[in-house]
């Protein structure tokens, strides 16, 4: 399955998804505007996920649902593109301990121009990800462009990545684009599940 129906189609997982959808609708779904997306496309609705991610209940639900989705996968690390993935990664890392500790990382848009000059941040050395199975996360996917850039940087340091988890998939090509890069997209929620 490619959505967090993977977590549980019924029961507790379904209740968590339903509650997360309600929080996103209340705090993060903007409608009736003319919004420019990161992909460059225009849209009459926009998911501004920061209010949900920084809401205590929202953050807890996101971490729970991501960990549920990752349960069947052999994953050792979780990361994603700055800036949107950073709070998600932090929540999931914290919640993963002690049952199944996942280390975290993030990928800058450009290498630091001072200090270590790194593009991949989190582990003591980016090479520490070499040979480790990692998953990438993002708050919202549209075409998957930022994830593909993050994927290249993550694979350059030797991490093994074949799965991406997004909170909301806008269902505008990300799944197909990521599949061409050898990635499976797992979405906690899809745009079609909201009243747009």
User: Structural domains in the chain?
Assistant: 4-193 (3.40.50.2020)
104 to 137, 166, 176: CA distances (angstroms): 11, 16, 26
Q: Give me the residue label for tokens 């209340």.
A: 26
Tell me the backbone φ, ψ of residue 106, rounded to 5 degrees.
Answer: -140, 160
pTM of the model: 0.91
Whole-number Cα distances in Å, 34 to 43, 62, 173: 6, 27, 20
Inter-residue contact 143 to 176 (CB < 8 Å): no
pLDDT beyond 90 at 66: yes
User: Burial, 110: exposed, middle or buried (Cβ in 10 Å; 0-12, 13-18, 19+)?
Assistant: exposed
% residues pLDDT > 90 (the chain)? 79
Q: In the predicted model, what is the mean pLDDT of residues 139-162?
A: 94
Give 9's pLDDT tier (boundaries 50, 70, 90).
Answer: low
- Segment 166-189 shows an average pLDDT of 96
Find the mean pLDDT for residues 112-120. Answer: 74
Cα dist. 37→47, 87, 170, 186, 190 in Å?
Answer: 10, 20, 11, 21, 16
Alpha helices in the chain (DSSP H): 12-27, 50-53, 56-70, 85-96, 145-156, 174-179
């Amino acid at each position: 399955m490619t959505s967090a129906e993977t977590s549980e189609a019924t029961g507790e997982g379904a209740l968590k998804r339903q509650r997360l959808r309600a929080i996103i609708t209340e705090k993060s779904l903007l409608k009736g505007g003319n919004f420019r997306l990161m992909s460059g496309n225009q849209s009459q609705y926009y998911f501004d996920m920061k209010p949900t991610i920084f809401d205590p209940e929202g953050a807890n639900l996101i971490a729970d649902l991501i960990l549920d989705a990752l349960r069947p996968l052999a994953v050792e690390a979780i990361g994603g593109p700055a800036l949107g993935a950073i709070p998600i990664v932090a929540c999931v890392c914290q919640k993963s301990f002690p049952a199944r500790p996942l280390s975290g990382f993030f990928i800058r848009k450009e290498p630091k121009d001072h200090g270590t000059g790194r593009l991949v941040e989190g582990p003591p050395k980016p090479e520490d990800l070499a040979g480790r199975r990692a998953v990438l996360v993002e708050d919202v996917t549209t075409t998957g462009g930022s994830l593909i850039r993050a994927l290249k940087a993550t694979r350059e340091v030797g991490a093994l990545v074949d799965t991406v988890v997004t909170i909301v998939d806008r269902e505008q090509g990300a799944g197909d684009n990521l599949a061409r890069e050898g990635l499976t997209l797992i979405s906690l929620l899809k745009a079609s599940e909201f009243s747009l």
